Amino acid sequence: MSTFGGPGGRMIISKPSPPERGSFPLDHEAECQPIMKQYLRCLRAHRGINDDECRQLSKGYLQCRMDRNLMAVDSMRNLGYQEPEQLNVDSAKGMPEQQVKVDGK
């Protein structure tokens, strides 16, 4: 027997939450569509893995949207992208130090 609509059979109602960074206009004029398509091809070519090549394309796509006022201007660092110099420094910190053994000492 169904309890739909009966006592105790309440529906759980959740309130919708807005996106973290607000809403942004759609690209109706397809100004950034070519780079978006390149990014999607890159993801397919790398089987869904967000390779560095694909990340650079997604960074370019976001920059295109910011340049055309299709999203709020923000630093790439806030969007999850590191500067190339900082990326090299961070990756070097994570590598174990090489130990050199000197014969006879």
Percent over 70 (pLDDT), the chain: 61
pLDDT digits (tens, 9 = 90+) for 35-77: 999 999 999 999 888 889 999 999 999 999 999 999 889 999 9
Within a domain: 45: yes
* Domain extent for 50: 30-72
Within a domain: 59: yes
**Alpha carbon distance 22, 48 (integer Å):** 27
The pTM (predicted TM-score) of the whole model is 0.59
- Domain tally for the chain? 1
CA dist 101 → 27, 94, 97 (Å)? 60, 22, 13
Within a domain: 88: no
**Alpha carbon distance 71, 96 (integer Å):** 40
Mean model confidence pLDDT for the chain: 76
Within a domain: 13: no
**Alpha carbon distance 12, 80 (integer Å):** 35
pLDDT digits (tens, 9 = 90+) for 2-38: 556 556 666 677 787 766 666 678 888 999 999 999 9
Within a domain: 63: yes
Within a domain: 67: yes
